[in-house]
Amino acid sequence: MKAHDGMYIDGAWRPADGRDAIDVVNPVDEQVIGRVPAGTALDVDTAVRAARAALPGWAATPPAERAARLAALRDVLVARKDEVAETVTAELGSPLKFSQAVHAAAPIAVAGSYAELTATYAFEEKVGNSVVHHEPVGVVGAITPWNYPLHQIVAKVAPALAAGCTVVLKPAEDTPLTAQLFAEAVHEAGVPAGVFNLVTGLGPVAGQALAEHPGVDLVSFTGSTAVGRRIGALAGAAVKNVALELGGKSANVILPSADLAKAVNVGVANVMSNSGQTCSAWTRMLVHRDQYDEAVALAAEAAAKYGDRIGPVVNAKQRERVRGYIEKGVAEGARIVAGGPEAPQEQGYFVSPTVLADVTEDMTVAQEEIFGPVLSVLRYEDEEDALRIANGTVYGLAGAVWAGEEAEAVAFARRMETGQVDINGGRFNPLAPFGGYKQSGVGRELGAHGLTEYLQTKSLQF
């Protein structure tokens, strides 16, 4: 795999400050496929200075021109979509078809949506005797995870550039090659030097330095709640803007009037896709007690069909973590009806698609984010009980409701403490705001709501 041995700063690939490097590993065969520099605080500082220097020019660039750069970026992502898919497959391990359909395609849709939005957005509005200007927040420090490596980057960088902000990105250490490819795409799209900068490196070193840097005005983070909490505390102490997209433990609520087989099959597919490494995955399936046994049998059958069609999880640590959760579930009284903690094959970080039945709401597997192909099926007595269980975690990122009538599902969804709900299997919408209630985060990404995260207002009175 192609890898740059420098950092993309101020419009060019520049030598890294230190000599330390990160090996990039293919999770399917555990082979090293590339090596990137491990950034230091000095690399971060150089990148932030470049972003600060570029800020006035980019902020003053007319929205139509910023829109044109984003449209060009989308076009590059289209032209290089096969390369994107192959790179994500190589470092994340996802099956190539999934990389093409999701990892390469979603960022194209999101970049395209921001190209359109930038061209039409009212960056100026009249409120009584005032004119309110929506101005860029400033320099953005973006810290992203590995699970949707390009999507997570584009969901921050596209709205930031649309708003007139400049960016320093610290991508996940497991998927830096996709980030380097993105930097090439930004360059090819004609985005001016310094507007976007990339520093690869480790979270506690380069990530921490970026979050702490006084030259950063907004820290936008996606990842674990543990790290998000630290970043939020740092930002609070420095009175900086912060956006946090954290974990989830979303409920898939199947009401008795629903098409049970469809709800279960779509629910299993939702959890198994990307090997369960999706923060918004519906990892808790809630089924009425009268339909419980049937639902469990359907879920076990559906999961077994996935077999070896899902990819591995991202690294050995995640594999051990996920297997540990399955074992903990069994120790606390859950019953394995598909999959299990045993490694399905000797090589690669694979975990079997697993379904746990007889899960109760207080169990660890019903409360903590597992981030692997593991579905827990819970039993509810009546609708109030289902709502109580659905809302009974610290998280509130996503969810699903299934019912015979849409109105019944909507009424239930309105009572859920969560940022997104799919009604009877609703489709992904790149313009719909995405983000968490409760400890799933602060702020929203995507669409116009995502754009406002990168804007601040200035009111002029007349």
Active site residues: 245, 279
Which of 203, 276, 396, 443 contacts ligand NAP by CB under 6 A? 203
Q: Write down how long the chain is.
A: 462
| Nearer to ligand NAP among residue 369 and residue 422 (C-beta) | 369
Question: Is residue 274 within the footprint of ligand NAP (CB under 6 A)?
Answer: no
Among candidate residues 190, 178, 170, the one with its CA nearest the CA of residue 104 = 178
The contact pattern for ligand NAP, residues 54-73, with x = CB under 6 A and - = no contact, is: --------------------
Counting beta carbons within 10 angstroms of the beta carbon of residue 347, is it exposed (0 to 12), middle (13 to 18) or buried (19 or more)? Answer: exposed
Residue whose C-beta lies closest to ligand NAP? 203
User: Which of 239-247, 300-308, 352-360, 404-412 is the region at the interface with ligand NAP (rule: CB under 6 A)?
Assistant: 239-247
Q: In whole angstroms, how close is the CB of 208 to ligand NAP at the nearest point?
A: 4
| Nearer to ligand NAP among residue 119 and residue 202 (C-beta) | 202
Side-chain half-sphere exposure of 146, counting CA atoms within 13 A? 29
Give long-range contacts, CB 8 A cutoff, 24+ apart: 335-338.
337/296, 337/297, 337/299, 337/300, 338/299, 338/300, 338/301, 338/303, 338/304
Residue 354: phi and psi, rounded to 5, are: -120, 140
Among candidate residues 63, 155, 141, the one with its CA nearest the CA of residue 113 = 155
The contact pattern for ligand NAP, residues 244-263, with x = CB under 6 A and - = no contact, is: -xxx----------------
Counting beta carbons within 10 angstroms of the beta carbon of residue 448, is it exposed (0 to 12), middle (13 to 18) or buried (19 or more)? Answer: middle
User: Which of 6-14, 84-92, 240-248, 380-388 is the region at the interface with ligand NAP (rule: CB under 6 A)?
Assistant: 240-248
Residue type, 77: L
| Nearer to ligand NAP among residue 223 and residue 353 (C-beta) | 223
Counting beta carbons within 10 angstroms of the beta carbon of residue 316, is it exposed (0 to 12), middle (13 to 18) or buried (19 or more)? Answer: middle
Helices (H) and strands (E) in the chain, counts: 16, 20
Question: Is residue 35 within the footprint of ligand NAP (CB under 6 A)?
Answer: no
Which of 17, 43, 217, 369 contacts ligand NAP by CB under 6 A? 369
Binding residues for ligand NAP, how many (CB under 6 A)?
A: 27
Which of 50, 139, 235, 279 contacts ligand NAP by CB under 6 A? 279
Q: In whole angstroms, how close is the CB of 442 to ligand NAP at the nearest point?
A: 13
User: Which of 34-42, 98-106, 118-126, 221-229 is the region at the interface with ligand NAP (rule: CB under 6 A)?
Assistant: 221-229
Residues 412-441 that bind ligand NAP (CB under 6 A): none
Residues 131-190 that bind ligand NAP (CB under 6 A): 143-147, 170, 172-174
Cα distance between residue 385 and residue 296, in whole Å = 19
Cα distance between residue 403 and residue 382, in whole Å = 14
Please report, as ranges, the residues that interact with ligand NAP according to CB under 6 A: 143-147, 170, 172-174, 202-204, 207-208, 211, 222-224, 227, 230-231, 245-247, 279, 369, 371
